[in-house]
Amino acid sequence: MKEAVAGELAAAYDSALVDRVRANEFRFESGRLTVHLAREFGFCYGVDRAVDYAYQARRRFPGRRVFLTGEIIHNPHVNDRLRGAGIRFLSDAGEQADRLGADDVVILPAFGVTVNDMAMLSSQGCTLVDTTCGSVLNVWKNVVRYAQDGFTSIIHGKVKHEETRATASQALKYPNGRYLIVLDHEEAAIVCSYIRSGGDRDAFLARFAGASSPGFDPDRDLERIGCANQTTMLMTESLAIGEMFRDAMRERYGEAGLSTHFRAFDTICSATQERQDAVIALLAEQPLDLMLVVGGYNSSNTCNLACICAEKVRTYHIAEPECLISAEQVRYRPVSVPCSAGGIQEIAQGWLPASGPIAVGLTAGASTPNNIVGEVIRKLETFCGGV
Ligand code: SF4
């Protein structure tokens, strides 16, 4: 059904303006405004495919109930459009995931579902449309291999994120499979300290309650570890955490014992890496007055793009074009607010220079379609495009 939905998808998510900006060396100029667009931004291959499959599923099964397990991606506009197209969300109030039947169609999101959810849906005989991204499946493959070989998966990720929950569940496919989820350097340092010299077992278990597999025993389950990560984490942080664990295991078991106690592989997906690299290049190449990062506030990869930008220039992470309220006011998520905290926003006054040239950097997370990026550019032009 790909061709049948191509026009509908293009009308809903493409932008002729963004295409023109891309063709113009990623630069948009109007009056005193110059917008510099990152060279990689917006929909990644996994999201593109997931949204495409959702529209195809709606078209392929007319007359049948079509569900999504939850948000297909972390973008409110895309999810609302899918609701508008008649696709129901099992995560919405009133829907019952355990009362489905053979006539129902269920779409699994790009970040996958847990092993238990998959089993529950399969047991009800529904038709499943699996849009789990290949890059996520690659992580799962490695986590399963760790479990098979008796290694505990140390997952750098956000414990409440759907992808990390799904990845962790893969470790439990084998009886001795274990996992531990670490959010950041601070948590990695606590685990590394325990690996090196032990510590307060109860305090450790309390700290990682909800972030470790059932029955986790740090004295037993940190003897052999393998690193993995949520595909959308900050690449530099994931690599640094991997090295922290390598160093700790080397200290504990010596160089000779390292290979039997430690494994690692890079599971940041290429789309995430390219978007982070592109924004780093943009910040290095262009003097900017400010940076706009567009994407859902619960989108991990968008939050990480905002973190990178905020280190270099005044940055506003906005969920949608409507956040640009006026030339004086912008509504945004401060980068200090954790991604998982949802819709916490602030309003900044005087965010655009009142006179003189303005250089705005722009990027968008992997779940933001081009039409949203185009609307942001148009709003900027309205506010400061005059000479
Ligand atoms: S961010 Fe990466 S892993 Fe996630 S859907 Fe996109 S391509 Fe796949």
Q: Convert the chain into a string of H (helix), E (strand) and C (coil).
A: CHHHHHHHHHHHHCCHHHHHHHHCCCEEEECCEEEEECCCCCCCHHHHHHHHHHHHHHHHCCCCCEEECCCCCCCHHHHHHHHHCCCEECCCCCCCCCCCCCCCEEEECCCCCCHHHHHHHHHCCCEEEECCCHHHHHHHHHHHHHHHCCCEEEEECCCCCHHHHHHHHHHCCCCCCEEEEECCHHHHHHHHHHHHHCCCHHHHHHHCCCCECCCCCHHHHCCCEEEEECCCCCHHHHHHHHHHHHHHHHHHHHHHHHHHHEEECCCCCHHHHHHHHHHHHHHHHCCCCEEEEECCCCCHHHHHHHHHHHCCCCEEEECCHHHECCCCEEEEECCCCCHHHCCCCEEEECCCCCCCCEEEEEEECCCCCHHHHHHHHHHHHHHHCCC
For the Cβ of 45 lying below 6 angstroms from any atom of ligand 1, the answer is: yes
CA gap 48, 377 in Å, rounded: 22
Mean pLDDT on 183-189: 97
Other C-beta atoms lying within 10 Å of the C-beta of residue 350? 10
pLDDT band at residue 104 under the 50/70/90 scheme: very high
C-alpha of residue 26 to centroid of ligand 1, in Å: 23
What the block records as the tokens of 235 is 């690449």
Per this entry, what is the length of the chain? Answer: 387
Q: Evaluate: CB of 368 within 6 angstroms of ligand 1.
A: no
Q: Are 115 and 170 in contact (CB under 8 A)?
A: yes
Contact 386/370 with Cβ under 8 angstroms?
A: no
Residue 267 vs residue 341, higher pLDDT: 267
Q: Is residue 71 predicted with pLDDT exceeding 90?
A: no
Q: Which of 130-139, 155-164, 331-340 has the lowest mean pLDDT?
A: 331-340
Q: How far is CA 16 from CA 10, 19, 23, 77, 370, in A?
A: 10, 5, 11, 18, 9
Using the predicted structure, report yes or no on whether residue 267 has a pLDDT greater than 80: no
Would the CB of 136 count as within 6 Å of ligand 1? Answer: yes
Ligand 1 pocket, residue 366 CB under 6 Å: yes
- Asked if 18 and 377 touch (Cβ cutoff 8 Å), the reply is yes
Q: Is the pLDDT of residue 214 over 60?
A: yes
Distance 220 CA to ligand 1 centre (A): 33
Cα separation, 365 vs 299, in Å, equals: 7
Confidence of residue 219 (pLDDT cuts 50, 70, 90): very high
Across the chain, which distance is largest between two alpha carbons, in Å?
68
Q: Is 60 exceeded by the pLDDT of residue 348? A: yes
Taking the CA of residue 135 as reference, the ligand 1 atom at the shortest distance is 3
Q: What pLDDT, on the 0 to 100 scale, is given for residue 220?
A: 97
Reported for 80-83, long-range contacts at CB under 8 A and 24+ positions apart, including other chains, are 81/12, 82/54
Task: Between 354 and 286, name the one with better pLDDT.
Answer: 286
CB atoms under 10 Å from CB of 218, counted, come to 20
**Percent of the residues in the chain that have a pLDDT greater than 90, as a whole number:** 82
CA of 164 to the centre of ligand 1 (A): 13
Q: Which of 147, 191, 142 is nearest to 173 (CA)?
A: 147
| Cβ-Cβ contacts under 8 Å for 93 (sequence gap 6 or more) | none
More confident residue, 344 or 139: 139
Confidence band of 341 (pLDDT split at 50, 70, 90):
low
Of 319, 60, 300, 314, nearest to 183 (Cα)? 300
CA angle 22, 365, 312 (to 5 degrees): 85
- Name the residues annotated as catalytic: 163
Pairing state of beta strands 27-30 and 33-37? antiparallel
Residue 97 has pLDDT above 70, yes or no: yes
Mean pLDDT on 7-34: 95
Task: Work out the average pLDDT over 230-251.
Answer: 94
> Given a cut of 70, is residue 340 above it in pLDDT?
no
The confidence band for 342, taking pLDDT boundaries of 50, 70 and 90, is low
How do residues 285-309 score in pLDDT, each as one tens digit? 999 999 999 999 988 899 999 999 9
pLDDT exceeds cutoff 60 at 136: yes
pLDDT of res. 386:
59
Side chain identity, residue 373: V
pLDDT reading at 76 higher than 60: yes
Average pLDDT over every residue of 113-136: 94
The verdict on the CB of residue 139 being under 6 Å from ligand 1 is: no
Nearest to 275 by CA among 43, 41, 75, 48: 41
The pLDDT assigned to 98 comes to: 78
The mean pLDDT of the chain is 93
The reported pLDDT for the residue numbered 139 is 96
Q: How far apart are CA 132 and CA 144, in angstroms?
A: 16
Work out the pLDDT band at 138, boundaries 50, 70, 90: very high
With 60 as the cut, is the pLDDT of residue 387 above it? no
Residue 60 contacts by C-beta under 8 Å, 6 or more apart in sequence? 1
Q: What is the pLDDT of residue 16?
A: 97
* Atom nearest to 231 CA in ligand 1: 3
Predicted confidence band of residue 344 (pLDDT cuts 50, 70, 90): confident
Mean pLDDT of the region 328-340: 86
Say what the pLDDT of residue 75 is. Answer: 85
pLDDT value of position 161: 93
Collect all residues with Cβ–Cβ distance below 8 Å to 77 and sequence separation of at least 6: 320, 369, 372
